[in-house]
Chains A and B, each alone.
Chain A
Amino acid sequence: MVTTGTEETVCRLVREYSDMLLRLACTRLSSVSDAEDAVQEVFLRLLSAPVSFRDAGHEKAWLIRTTLHRASDIRRQAEKRNLPLEEAAQTAAPEPGTDLLQAVQALPEKYGAVIHLHYYEGYSIREIGTLLGLPAATVGTRLARGRERLRELLKEEIK
């Protein structure tokens, strides 16, 4: 069991997970700056409120779930302030790159997270179920529905 109240432990987690969590947060937030805030707040929370992780899997799952919650919270606040999405996209940093990334960002969290974890991080459906605390069947359904939503958003077939 690993308890995270110490500077050393949290710094290790930063080195190990910050890149992955930042990219994950970027699938919920169009501003890289907001995504950085979300991830940093998650790490700082471990200092003020230590968590006892059962094992490495629990550690990773907690970080992923908490980052998604925090990113969604920031996003919800921005949406409620009626911040136009176009404006957010312009202030945001992500290079537009492809329509597909922007379409994933537009998906509800429950679909966007599984799509990203599966197609970018390479996790299997079963592994995503463990990370997000969901039955594998639910993950499979969300993956299928997420792809369907993306097709609608992109109006073209994803190969």
Chain B
Amino acid sequence: MNWNDYRKAVDALPLSGDFQERTEELVRRTAKIVKLEKECISVKKKGFVKAVSIAAAVALLTISAYAASRLLSPAQVADIHGNAALAQAFESEDAVKLNQSVQTEKLCVTLAGLVSGENLSEWTDQADQSRTYAVMILESLDGTPLDIDDFSITEYTFTPLVAGFTPWSVNNWTLDAGVSLLERDGALYYLLDTRNIEMFADHTVYMAFYQGRLPDPDIFTMTEDGTISFAESFEGPQALFTLPLDESKADPAAVEKFMNDSGFDREWFTS
């Protein structure tokens, strides 16, 4: 076998002949939506004070310590995924155990815990990269078992967000994150694998869950002081947790590098 065979095999891939045309059409349609969204941002900023007050009140009423004894622990979730190294990390002293819950619509969303560091997983092929792993649990409030097909990772988003950085700039997408989902006894377990978010620890760092895809101005608002909350008009299951990260682990130089490497305009991160 030689490399000509490889080139022939790549050339023989059954690529769609109209991919370019379809993609251009998709770009044109999306460009119109993006334009409309930008026009909406200034309108929404005017209403942010009310939105924040309501969001804060809802959070106070619903966030509570959660007795998670009947649920799988983050370590058990990692174990089921076949990741013994990560399971061990979730049991270590470095792990943050939260077990905080928010009731939203007919769901109970529990952020079970997270752990950050290098070489914590057996999966990553970027062993030199520091990562954060978090486990979030979804249950129905009336005890009805949840169907994994109704809560796919393409329909619902579980993502970190950082105060002072627009939700559309620092999120699962830009942090090279991946989410896996499993079901046990009617509860759903989301395991998030993202770049280490401790670098932002000198800011308020959130973990958000909501129905929808990319975090955009229809879903989130950010106040002048950088506080992030769900948009007042956003409907559907939603939860926003604040993470108790150790501020001493903040790494402004890494954040700077993250922004530089992204290639995005600096302004996009903050406004």
Assembly CA distance A43 to B265 (angstroms) = 16
In the complex the two chains form, what is the Cα distance from A7 to B12 in whole Å? 31
Do B19 and A36 have beta carbons less than 8 Å apart?
yes
Question: Is the Cβ of B123 less than 8 Å from the Cβ of A14?
Answer: no
Number of interface residues of B (CB under 8 A): 48
Is the pair A101, B1 in contact by a Cβ cutoff of 8 Å?
Answer: no
Per-residue contact bits, chain A 12-34, to B (CB 8 Å; 1 contact, 0 not): 00110011001100110000100
Using Cβ atoms and an 8 Å threshold, which residues of chain A touch B9? Answer: 97-98, 100-101
Q: A48-B168, A81-B181 are in contact. Are A94 and B13 (CB under 8 A)?
A: yes
B183 to chain A, nearest CB (A): 11
Chain B residue contacts of A81, Cβ below 8 A: 180-181
Given the complex of chains A and B, what is the CA–CA distance between A19 and B37 in angstroms? 30
A40 touches B23 (CB 8 A): yes
Which residues of chain A come closer than 8 Å to B191, judged between CB atoms?
80
Q: Which residues of A contact B27 (CB under 8 A)?
A: 7, 10-11, 14, 43-44, 47
Is A73 a contact partner of B177 (Cβ separation < 8 A)? yes
- Is there a chain A Cβ closer than 8 Å to B93's Cβ? no
Bound form: Cα–Cα A120–B191 in Å? 36
Contact yes or no, B1 A76, CB < 8 A? no
- Residues on A close to B: CB < 8 A? 3, 6-7, 10-11, 14-15, 18-19, 22-23, 26-27, 32, 36, 39-40, 43-45, 47-53, 58, 62, 69, 72-73, 76-77, 79-81, 93-95, 97-101, 104, 108-110, 116, 119-120, 154, 156, 158-159
